[in-house]
Amino acid sequence: MDRAKTSLSEGSIGSDFLQLDVREAPPGGLADWLAGQLRAAVADGRLPVGSRLPASRVLAAELRVSRGVVTEAYQRLIDDGHAAGRGRAGTVVVAAPVLPPAPAHIRPPSKVITSMPGVEVFDAVRAAPARIDLTPGVPDLTAFPRAAWLRAERAVLDELEPSHFGYGDPRGAPAMRLAVSHWLARSRGIRVDPGGIIVVAGVAQALTLVGEVLRQHGIDEVAVEDPSSLGARQHLHHCGLATPPVPVDEDGLRVAGLRAPAVLLTPAHQFPMGVVLGGERRRALMRWAAEGGIVVEDDYDAEHRYDRAPVPAVRSMLPEVLYTGSVSKLLAPALRVGWLLAPARFRDDLVAAKRFADLGNPVLAQLVLARLMETGELERQLRVVRSRHRRRRDAMIRSLATDLPSAVVHGAAAGLHLTITFDADLDDVALAAAALAEGVKVQPLSWHRQLPGRPGLVLGYAARTSTEIAEGVALLGRLVR
């Protein structure tokens, strides 16, 4: 082995090797130099938050320095809060150092949270390492039904005709559209002919297709709830549509405030406040639609309910609604499979938009998912994750009561996230940035607002254990105090 250079052991930090050259160390300053090298590696992502440093004796042997040098360097990282000793688990990176401003491509993770986020911010935050990721909208990915998926895939491949490997219907595989029609009838009370269903790459693509077609029909703005999903607004903006805000209260969207020709809403579990569109508001929305208004319904989190009865989809009462949903929150976002119900008025244009976007979704995944739907496996999966998500929601509520007792909790009856708001004059963007610098990832509520409102945080709980949730909320409590 080269005496001067070494790579940290793969078993400790993963497959990315960190090259250290002790010849660069100043005389008598090995511990200072080594601590600085490790901090730099944490800051630029070579040592991500959550990774384990190699045992001090192993690194000392590889560098051919005394074990005391390595131990002292590790202790300095612990003292300044960037690492933590975990007993037999070793020394673990828990936070990235906050460095002076740098060019965007090498900026530390805490700098990616800004008060006016663009699309690039979402990408940067998604990629930023975090010890505890409380990003909303992410299900428990460890619960993905791998065995059931493999069984269904084998069965599909055994039965698949060679012709299925060619180009198919841009609306989606007939078996998938039939399965979706049955699924929506069972779970959401929606009666729809399979011919009116378009299989899409998640709700995101559905919004893009709808945005393009509405523009073709001369519509240049789609009203949105306020607060509402920043990501959804960005998709509409990309299509050249304005998104005038309409306030949300405890009964959902204030329909009387609608002035635009179309509206996008999440009536079953409003994002991010978690309220349900009330009965009188639904009736007002139907009257507004009868006068020519166009309703786009994102059936967000409709399956994940804990303390309330199922809420009917608006589409079940109003056939002209442009309705979209997906399996991203039930199975995994990586599948990129969802559906769009296309009323006759827009159907041909939406199918054309899908055709020219990608010629249709991959067929094999559609057929596997269709089989899971038709055999009852998807319902069984929903029961499994609903129980697990409920326990994690309860853990977050307990932790908030202990560590953030002044915060108001919203949306606990359903979904995969909670929203909390504060009465105090608090900068939620600065709070989220400070949390990320300490290894906990959350979203500031102000990201999702266009109108003034109380500060807060949007906290996902489905993808984290109860212990992680408690630790993350405790950190938020310390930062607020």
Closest by alpha carbon to 243, among 382, 99, 406, 448? 448
Q: Is pLDDT larger for residue 451 or for residue 124?
A: 451
Give the pLDDT score at 27. 65
Give the pLDDT score at 99. 38
Three-class secondary structure of residue 198 per DSSP: strand
What is the distance between the alpha carbons of residues 458 and 441, in angstroms, rounded to a whole number?
10
| DSSP single-letter state for residue 100 | S
Q: What band does 308 get if pLDDT is binned at 50, 70 and 90?
A: confident
Exposure of 142 in the CB half-sphere (CA atoms within 13 A): 6
Average pLDDT, the chain: 87
Per DSSP, which regions of 99-194 are E strands? 132-133
Rounded to an integer, the average pLDDT of 352-381 is 96
pLDDT tens digit string along 452-470? 999 999 999 999 999 999 9
Give the C-alpha distances (Å, rounded to integers) separating 87 from 55, 84, 469.
Answer: 11, 9, 21
Give the pLDDT score at 103. 33
Give the pLDDT score at 28. 64
Rounded to an integer, the average pLDDT of 327-355 is 95
What is the distance between the alpha carbons of residues 364 and 35, in angstroms, rounded to a whole number?
50
Give the pLDDT score at 287. 97
Q: What band does 116 get if pLDDT is binned at 50, 70 and 90?
A: low
pLDDT tens digit string along 390-444? 999 999 999 999 999 999 999 999 899 999 999 878 999 999 999 999 999 999 9
Specify the residue for token string 């945080």.
Answer: 457
What is the distance between the alpha carbons of residues 132 and 218, in angstroms, rounded to a whole number?
45
Q: Is pLDDT larger for residue 476 or for residue 59?
A: 476
Rounded to an integer, the average pLDDT of 256-282 is 96
Give the pLDDT score at 96. 63
Q: Which of the residue ranges 98-102, 192-196, 329-333, 349-353 would you say has the lowest mean pLDDT?
A: 98-102
Say whether pLDDT at 198 is over 90: yes
Q: Which of the residue ranges 81-95, 139-153, 288-302, 358-372 would you say has the lowest mean pLDDT?
A: 81-95
What is the distance between the alpha carbons of residues 135 and 475, in angstroms, rounded to a whole number?
15
Report cis status (omega within 30 of 0) of the bond before 103: no
